[in-house]
Structures are given as C-alpha cells and as structure tokens.
C-alpha cells in the first residue's frame, strides 16, 4: 500500500485524516446499500473500519499489503457488514449476498478487543493522568516509538527528559493503583 497513506493513518493529523475520511465516505455508504445496510449503520461501520485500518497501519500489517487503501478499507467494511447482519439477525439473506459481484475481498480483523477486568481498571487510572502523560505512554507503549523518536516528535530537548518524564508518568499510575479508593 502507498506508504504515504500508511503514514497519514499513523500520524493522525486531523486535516489529513479529514480529507481521507471525506474522500471515500459516499462510495462506502453506497457500497453498504448494495449489501442491505442503511446509511446510518454504514456511517458507524465506516468509522469502525477506519479504526481497524489504522490499527493495522500502526501494527505494520499494511506494509506488505498489495491492494490500495480503498480496497482494504472496503474489505474491512464488507466483513463488518456481514457481522452486523449476523449479530442483528437481519432477514437479509447472507447467501444471496454471496452472489453480488465486486472485486472487494473481505479483510479479517481481530474482534477480541475487550479489555480484561484488570485492564479496565487500569484504563480508569490511565484516564486520570494528564494529557501529556497519556500521549507519552501511548507513543511508547502502543505506537512503539523509541525514546529518541518521542523526543524528536514532541520537541523535547533530549532523551533524558523523555525518560524521566516517562518514569514520572508510570510512577503516578502505580501510585493510583496502590492507593485504595477514597
């Protein structure tokens, strides 16, 4: 896939995401219509499909992919539409849908994203951290940026500032965990 598009997903600049979002929205909704999903549902599915494709971008799963951004996005969407029909037990016949012809191949994605009880608790503490801490931990833990990369991206003077800032954030988090609820 076009690396510049992968970078747009990873960097998540509002402007760039916005134009990408607007570019495919109408086609996506029409695509869903063909499969018996109404526009409101499709708008929700469109957003979730974006969440998934961004996850894949961050995890490096798009680097080796041959198809275009659009085809991949629609592939996720197709899978989501099928799941939606299954879950809502819609009367739309799944079988008849198999005969609709398009070049979109379904893309599978991980649906086990529920947090465990422990993680849910950790998430409530995480939400209480300041914005800077949240961002820093997201960059390090989820996006996998090294301390050097974070320093560059966030405009810190040097890696030591980042390291100590990160330790402070972790300390705050651990303190919340170890303090019993008021």
CA distance 148 to 159: 6
CB of 125 to another protein, least distance (A): 9
Cβ distance to another protein smaller for residue 18 or 93:
18
For another protein, which is the closer residue by CB, 158 or 167?
167
CB-facing half-sphere around the CA of 71: CA atoms within 13 A: 11
**Which residue do the tokens 């990160």 mark?**
166
Size of interface with another protein, in residues (CB under 8 A): 42
Q: Residue 148 in contact with residue 159, Cβ under 8 Å?
A: yes
From the number of C-beta atoms within 10 Å of its C-beta (0-12, 13-18, 19+), residue 48 rates as middle
Binder among 54, 61, 70, 153 for another protein (CB under 8 A): 54
For another protein, the closer of residues 102 and 144 by Cβ is 144
Distance of CA 78 to the CA centre of its chain: 17
Q: Give, as ranges, the residues between 150 and 179 that touch another protein (CB under 8 A).
A: 173
Interaction site with another protein (CB under 8 A): 12, 14, 17-18, 21-22, 25, 43-44, 46-48, 50-51, 54-55, 83-84, 87, 113-116, 118-119, 122-124, 126-128, 131, 134, 137-138, 140-144, 146, 173
């Amino acid at each position: 896939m076009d690396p510049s598009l992968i970078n747009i997903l990873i960097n998540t600049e509002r402007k760039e995401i916005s134009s990408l979002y607007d570019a495919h929205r109408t086609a996506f909704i029409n695509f869903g219509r063909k499969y018996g999903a109404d526009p409101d549902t499709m708008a929700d599915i469109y957003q979730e499909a974006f969440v998934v494709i961004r996850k894949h971008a961050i995890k490096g799963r798009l680097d080796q992919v041959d198809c275009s951004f659009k085809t991949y996005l629609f592939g996720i969407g197709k899978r989501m539409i099928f799941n939606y029909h299954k879950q809502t037990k819609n009367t739309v016949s799944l079988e008849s849908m198999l005969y609709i012809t398009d070049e979109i191949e379904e893309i599978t994605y991980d649906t086990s994203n529920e947090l465990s009880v422990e993680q849910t608790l950790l998430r409530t503490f995480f939400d209480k951290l300041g914005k800077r801490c949240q961002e820093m931990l997201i960059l390090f833990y989820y996006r996998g940026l090294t301390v050097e990369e974070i320093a560059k991206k966030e405009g810190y003077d040097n890696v030591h500032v980042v390291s100590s800032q990160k330790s402070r954030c972790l300390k705050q988090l651990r303190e919340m965990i170890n303090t019993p609820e008021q």
